[in-house]
Amino acid sequence: MVDHLANTEINSQRIAAVENCFGASGQPLALPGRVLLGEGILTKECRKKPKPRIFFLFNDILVYGSIIINKRKYNSQHIIPLEDVTLETLPDTLQMKNRWMIKTSKKSFVVSAASLTERKEWISHLEECIKHLLSKTGRQPCREPAAPWIPDKATDICMRCTHTKFSTLTRRHHCRKCGFVVCADCSRHRFLMPRLSPKPLRVCSLCYRQLLAEEKKGAEADRGQEPIRPAAPGYEPSSDDSDKSDEDKAEQWPADTEFYTSEVSWSSFHS
């Protein structure tokens, strides 16, 4: 189907329509050989609460954005190369059903479909495109995906020290290494992780120690290379897309909710 649609007028028109919906805020999407395979609305589990997002599946990229007017206007465009994507099916929760995780080296997040059939179709098409791309390029699947952020409402207390209670004055923060919800005292450090960002990122105290140990081990293995130094503590704003202005209106998550793997329980978060 991809070969049949590539470079056809109908495919060009469909891609142009998507570009038009994103307007000047979006990047050009038309490339020789690129085919728009399908689109749909999925619910993305964001930091504050689940939100509907429009997704477009091409034969080489996955594009998603915020819905302003469905079929007419979108913004906050995100483009993900499919070669960097791996997928993981997740169990249902009380709040969300038909869930799966889209994992990449820079960002991982959870989405859910309106039905089990729709989820199967999305995953099937994604896996087929990913398999074709990897076989074509000879690349290996992403082996170290970024950690997804635990939703803010998942916990009322810091998931590291387990005693600091969040409130209007005591803010929630996210460790960029493990994705846990942590307090300011437990996330004072910054560390340079080039795979995620050219700037030092906020990490929790446990991940900071682990990263330092990994850096030291790497330096010992290659003493001729100067090790990367962690940055001094400082402010680093959240990078979660279009969630910072939302109010915390989502219902409280039960304490026994399992998030991004069926094998890791809530108690394991406090290691």
What's the pTM? 0.77
Q: What are the phi and psi torsion angles at 265 (to 5°)?
A: -90, 170
User: Does 115 map to a domain?
Assistant: yes
Flag whether pLDDT at 43 surpasses 80.
Answer: yes
Its domain, for residue 46, covers 3-145
Q: Per-residue pLDDT tens for 121-159?
A: 999 999 999 999 999 888 888 888 999 999 998 899 999
The percentage of residues in the chain with a pLDDT greater than 70, rounded to a whole number, is 82
In this prediction, residue 225 carries a pLDDT of 56
User: Are residues 213 and 103 both part of a single domain?
Assistant: no
In Å, what is the CA distance from 30 to each residue of 85, 93, 184? Answer: 21, 38, 44
Residue 74 is encoded by which pair of tokens?
């979108």
179: left (phi over 0), alpha (psi -120 to 50) or beta: left
In this prediction, residue 74 carries a pLDDT of 97
Return the CATH number at 66: 2.30.29.30
Overall average pLDDT of the 204-221 stretch: 90
Q: Per-residue pLDDT tens for 49-102?
A: 999 999 999 999 999 999 999 999 999 999 999 999 999 999 998 889 999 999
User: Are residues 26 and 134 both part of a single domain?
Assistant: yes
Predicted confidence band at 4 (pLDDT cuts at 50, 70, 90)? confident
User: Are residues 158 and 121 both part of a single domain?
Assistant: no
In this prediction, residue 239 carries a pLDDT of 45
User: Are residues 135 and 171 both part of a single domain?
Assistant: no
Number of domains present in the structure of the chain = 2
User: Are residues 74 and 180 both part of a single domain?
Assistant: no
61: left (phi over 0), alpha (psi -120 to 50) or beta: beta
User: Are residues 54 and 97 both part of a single domain?
Assistant: yes
